[in-house]
Amino acid sequence: MHLDRHISGIITHYGAWTYLILFAIIFCETGLVITPFLPGDSLLFVLGAMAAVGDLQLTLLVLGLSLAAVSGNILNYAIGVSLSNRVMNKQAIPFVKQAYIKRTHEFFEKYGAKTIIITRFVPILRTFAPFMAGVGSMPYGRFTIYNIIGGTAWVLVGILSGFFFGNLPLVRKNFSSVILAIVIISLVPAALEFIKHKKTDKH
């Protein structure tokens, strides 16, 4: 809700190290299945808005966070490969919800390799998509192509949205509400899929 204030505080205290901190947040949000709760879409929007007023450097953000998103997915893919036997045998994995694994698997069944791109814009599932790609032994070359496209597109859309619209008077006046709206809107696709599958299960 107040990401702009938190980021401003980080910039004040850490200066240029802020970019490394932001890299770590995006890397962990996409690269570790135990941290899907970290901010993603809303964070990118806030960073774009701050870049528009000169608090952060736009090019560094886009390049650095695109690299974080892509490399995070590569780590997640590798983790999926290493834990594939446990997932296939439905063994419990500490801090990982089976429901998220199941929902991501259903996305793969419906969208195939494009899931790596589509779920970039869906919180939680974007953390589990590369993991399940590794579990399912998706060819690494194909995964890499979709990973680069999806990661770069996600960062560009998020940051440029904030850059061009984050400082409009109406948005600035209701900034916290806008951030909340971004979070809610980003969860809509997953919610619709959940409702759809619930109805299917009943039939």
For every one of its 203 residues, what pLDDT tens digit does the chain have, with 9 covering 90 and above? 677 788 999 999 999 999 999 999 999 999 888 887 788 888 999 999 999 999 999 999 999 999 999 999 999 999 999 988 887 777 767 767 777 777 788 788 888 888 899 889 888 888 889 999 998 889 999 999 999 999 999 999 999 999 999 888 988 888 888 888 887 887 776 666 666 666 655 55
Nearest by Cα to 127 from 115, 142, 109, 141: 115
Q: How far apart are CA 129 and CA 71, in angstroms?
A: 14
Which residues 6+ apart lie within 8 Å of 35 measured at CB?
Answer: 28, 29, 127
Nearest Cα residue to 53 out of 125, 91, 4: 4
Q: Which residues contact 181 (CB under 8 A, 6 or more apart)?
A: none
Q: What is the pTM of this model?
A: 0.85
- At residue 191, the pLDDT reads 66
Q: Where are the alpha helices (DSSP H) in the chain?
A: 3-14, 18-31, 41-52, 58-82, 84-88, 98-111, 115-118, 125-135, 140-165, 169-173, 175-202
